[in-house]
Amino acid sequence: MKTAILIGAGPRGRLAYLDKFAKFGVKLIAVADLFEENRKLVQEAYGISEDMCFANYKDMFHGERLADIAIICTNDRDHLEPFKLCAQAGYHILLEKPISSFPEEVAEVEKISQTFDKTLTICHVLRYTPFFTKLKELITSGIIGKVMSINHNENMAYWFAVNNFVRGKWNNSDTTSPLILAKCCHDMDLLVYLTGKKCIRLSSFGNLGYFNPENAPEGAGTRCTVDCKIADSCPYNVVKFNINPPQNIAKFRANDYIEDEESLRQDMSTSQWGRCVFACDNNVADHQVISMEFEDNITAVFTVSAFTYDHSRTIKIMGTLGEIEGDMENGELQLKIFGANEIEHIHVENNILQHGGGDEGIVKAFLDSIDGDSGRNLTSAQESLHSHMICFAAEESRKNNGAVVELEAFTKRYLDALK
């Protein structure tokens, strides 16, 4: 039986991966997290002894290695140090994305990985979904000829965007990561994966165009449940998202320890998640577009936007013999061959609450790799370095009026700094 430790027991670590590892026979024996609530939830769910629950992950490294596998799911800015400790101790490592909020730290992880003799993968889970696996198969088969262009959209949904990137944990790049990295390094990995090519250059535009004080409507207050005069008509009212959501919107509570409505209302009247969307400390873009040129004359356009009704990823692959359109959340692909009279509709089974099945898919591929099965292409640190650098370069371009950034020179800047 393989054993594992968890460093960072927030929603991703605690809810996305642990039950998948357990499903495949891995026993969790230790957990580290700053917050006692997180530690207790994991301890009770997986029967961990008290002496194997740590407030400080560094206390896990005083002596022999505790387990075979390390699952690192700390905050974006806190990945590097636990990664280095785990690498030095000889763990197989599953590292949550993004690798880091800082390009120099991403480069450092990639450098360490070059001499790392254990299994390491970065959690770009979307490439492990049945949906994108099927899309990759269709492209590789040559049925639409040579890929020439891609349009890819990350539709955040208005309710998801304001909970996470206006009110929530990822709303300010000074303390977390820019939107394009925190939300979209998945998508950059997908573009690299689907094309099998590197991005050569890019240009990016976008800004914080709406969720700021200048756009506050008349009657808006500082909090939805306290002093807002237009709460009933405001589409961004926190009550609609976290306390009494419509049936077609998944519950997305800011505090998953609070279950009863009265306590949740009280929390929303004092916590950061109950603030008016026009009166927060957010600075990340609420919409952004990247135009990219890849090797082999492939072009791609990526759009991320808070201003969408559905929470979904949609994509269109245009080739010399046909095109493929897809909606990940619906699990639907449309194959359109030039000259054919009919459109082929392909349905792929999809678990929308688990990244379309990607959370389980990456855990299985990771464990298979440990056992010597390299049939599934794990996202290496080298590959992830490139997709991360696309994000960092896009943010640099956005802040410089859409200036074109050459990816090779941009990446070399950070790699050379390590020499």
Residues 14-31, mean pLDDT to the nearest whole number: 95
pLDDT at 154 over 60: yes
| 31-40, 290-299, 378-387, 406-415: least confident range | 378-387
Residues 105-118, mean pLDDT to the nearest whole number: 94
Strand pairing report for 69-72 and 3-7: parallel
Tens of pLDDT, residues 302-322: 999 999 999 899 999 999 999
| 47-51, 143-147, 167-171, 348-352: least confident range | 348-352
Average pLDDT, the chain: 92
Sign of CA dihedral 196, 298, 303, 324: negative
* pLDDT tier, 352 (very low <50, low <70, confident <90, very high otherwise): low
**Cα(170)–Cα(184) distance, integer angstroms:** 12
* pLDDT tier, 267 (very low <50, low <70, confident <90, very high otherwise): confident
Residue-wise DSSP of 20-84: HHHHTTPEEEEEE-S-HHHHHHHHHHHT--GGGEESSGGGGGSSS---SEEEE---GGG-HHHHH
